[in-house]
Amino acid sequence: DAGVIQSPRHEVTEMGQEVTLRCKPISGHNSLFWYRQTMMRGLELLIYFNNNVPIDDSGMPEDRFSAKMPNASFSTLKIQPSEPRDSAVYFCASIIQQGGNYGYTFGSGTRLTVV
Amino acid sequence: GNSVTQMEGPVTLSEEAFLTINCTYTATGYPSLFWYVQYPGEGLQLLLKATKADDKGSNKGFEATYRKETTSFHLEKGSVQVSDSAVYFCALIIQGAQKLVFGQGTRLTINP
């Protein structure tokens, strides 16, 4: 199993540009989560999907952020337009619940730098 | 609401020292508890978990016991190694829910 795959690993972009982060969850996992990690705020849950449907997007900071999950094997997090304060590491995680054994698996993250 | 509080870091120890990282929680329901570890430049990895009171999770020499009476899940290791240097996150999930709630993380550095 290749685990949760995120791309790109690193992204440097100029302020105002559109950024798209990608995630491929583990096959068979039915929930997907996007987290943002910064020194100041730690790990923040942005949005999560269950069976490809967005369940809770209350953590999405503002309208510049959007996320989609068109199918069970792919999700995107888009920032348009990007701002320097969006610089962070963005993690994707997927999960399958089996009798209380919560199998959360995280990707390696995308380090975003907006200059 | 549901929240997790960890001891403030950073924590710096010498190799072979005893480690304790404190974690306490508040929960509206009945939580499962986790410790995750993040090595430099990597994502979070599950280190250990406990799903009910008095359960002890263990892995790689680390242990944590689910203490309902003190709402705690402290992480311990008897003899740390340089390779244990990482950021450690305590987390909970309410059974039946899906959102994992993290503490703020504790950075651990082990010196040779």
pLDDT score recorded for residue B23: 97
pLDDT score recorded for residue A1: 63
Would you call B95 an interface residue with chain A, using a CB distance cutoff of 8 Å?
A: yes
Query: At residue A42, does pLDDT exceed 90?
Result: no
- Count CB pairs under 8 A between chains A and B: 46
Would you call A97 an interface residue with chain B, using a CB distance cutoff of 8 Å?
A: yes
Residue of chain A nearest B44, judged by CA positions: A106
pLDDT score recorded for residue B20: 97
Within 8 A of A107 by CB-CB distance, chain B residues are 43
Query: B residues 53-82 near A, CB within 8 Å?
Result: none
Query: At residue A83, does pLDDT exceed 60?
Result: yes
Query: At residue A103, does pLDDT exceed 80?
Result: no
pLDDT per residue as tens digits for the range B16-51? 999 999 999 999 888 999 999 999 888 899 999 999
As to burial, measured by CB atoms within 10 angstroms (0-12 exposed, 13-18 middle, 19+ buried), residue B7 is middle
Nearest to B105 among A42, A45, A101 (CB): A42
Kindly determine whether residue B44 and residue A106, on different chains, have CB atoms separated by under 8 Å.
Answer: yes
Distance CA B76, CA B24 (A): 14
- Does residue A25 have a cis bond before it (omega within 30 degrees)? no
DSSP 3-state of B45: strand
pLDDT score recorded for residue A47: 96
Kindly determine whether residue A4 and residue B46, on different chains, have CB atoms separated by under 8 Å.
Answer: no
What band does A100 get if pLDDT is binned at 50, 70 and 90? low
**A19 to chain B, closest Cα gap in Å:** 20
DSSP 3-state of A82: coil
Would you call A96 an interface residue with chain B, using a CB distance cutoff of 8 Å?
A: no
Within 8 A of A43 by CB-CB distance, chain B residues are 89, 102, 105
Query: At residue A101, does pLDDT exceed 80?
Result: no
Beta-strand ranges (E) seen in chain B are: 3-6, 11-14, 19-21, 23-26, 31-38, 44-50, 56-59, 62-65, 75-77, 86-94, 101-102, 106-111
Q: How far is CA A95 from CA A18, A30, A92, B96, in A?
A: 28, 6, 10, 13
Kindly determine whether residue A33 and residue B46, on different chains, have CB atoms separated by under 8 Å.
Answer: no
